[in-house]
Chains A and B, each alone.
Chain A
C-alpha cells in the first residue's frame, strides 16, 4: 500500500539548533498533517496544511506543503529539550476522504 517516507529516521541535535525533517511519497496528497508523539502518549496535531505551496507556522514550528503535492517538510527553530519525541507526517489521499496515511516517523533527541 501507500507509504510515506520520513527522513531522517532519527537525529540528535544540540539545544538551540534548528531542525529540519521531511516527508516524501510517490502519491499525491490533498492534505498534510504533522504530529508529535511523546512517550506513552498519543500523537498531538502540530500543523495542518491544506493547499499546495502553503507555508504555516505554529510558534517555533514551520511546515510547508510541497508544490508537487508529494512532499512536505517541518522545521523547528531553536530547539529545546521538550522538543524530544517522534514526529509523524500524515497525508490525506483523496479530497474528503477520512483516511490518512502516516509516515515512518522521525525520532528527535535534543542534547542540553
Chain B
C-alpha cells in the first residue's frame, strides 16, 4: 500500500553502463517528479510530468531521459553512467502544485 514506490532501492553499477529506475504512485496524483539529492543532501529538481506531458526539464545532461507511460508511472533512464551521477534519486508526486509526496529513494553508486 506504499504511496510512491521506487525500484530498485540500491543500484551499484560500473561507469559506462545504462540503467533505469522505476517509479509508481497509487495516490491518483496528476504530476510526478524526479529529484536528485547529492552527498551534501541538497535536493534539486530534474524533471516533472503532468498527465504524461513533460512540464519541467531542468539543466540535466541528456544522458538522463524520463519516460511517463501513464499518470501513475515515471521512469528514469540513464545512459553512459559517470562517477558524478552517484547520488540518491527521489521520485515524487503531487496533486497539481500542492506539496509533494516522495518515494524512499534509489541510491545509485557508480564505480
Q: Do A and B bind each other?
A: yes
Question: Does any Cβ of A come within 8 Å of B104's Cβ?
Answer: yes
Q: Is A99 an interface residue (CB 8 A)?
A: yes
A-facing residues in B20-61 (Cβ within 8 Å):
31, 33, 41-45, 48, 50, 55-56
Is there contact, CB below 8 Å, between B43 and A102? yes
Establish whether residues A42 and B104, one from each chain, have CB atoms under 8 Å apart when the complex forms.
Answer: yes
Q: Please, how many residues of chain B have a CB less than 8 angstroms from a CB on the other chain?
A: 25
Question: Which residues in window 77-104 of B have CB below 8 A to A?
Answer: 90, 92, 94, 96-104
Give how many A residues have a beta carbon under 8 Å from the other chain's beta carbons: 22
Which residues in B have their C-beta under 8 angstroms from that of A45? 99-101
Complex alpha-carbon distance, A33 and B101, angstroms: 12
What are 29 A-B contacts defined by CB distance under 8 Å? A31-B97, A33-B99, A33-B100, A35-B102, A40-B105, A41-B104, A41-B105, A42-B90, A42-B102, A42-B103, A42-B105, A43-B43, A43-B102, A45-B99, A45-B101, A48-B99, A86-B41, A96-B97, A97-B97, A98-B31, A98-B33, A98-B96, A99-B45, A100-B45, A100-B100, A102-B42, A102-B44, A104-B42, A105-B41
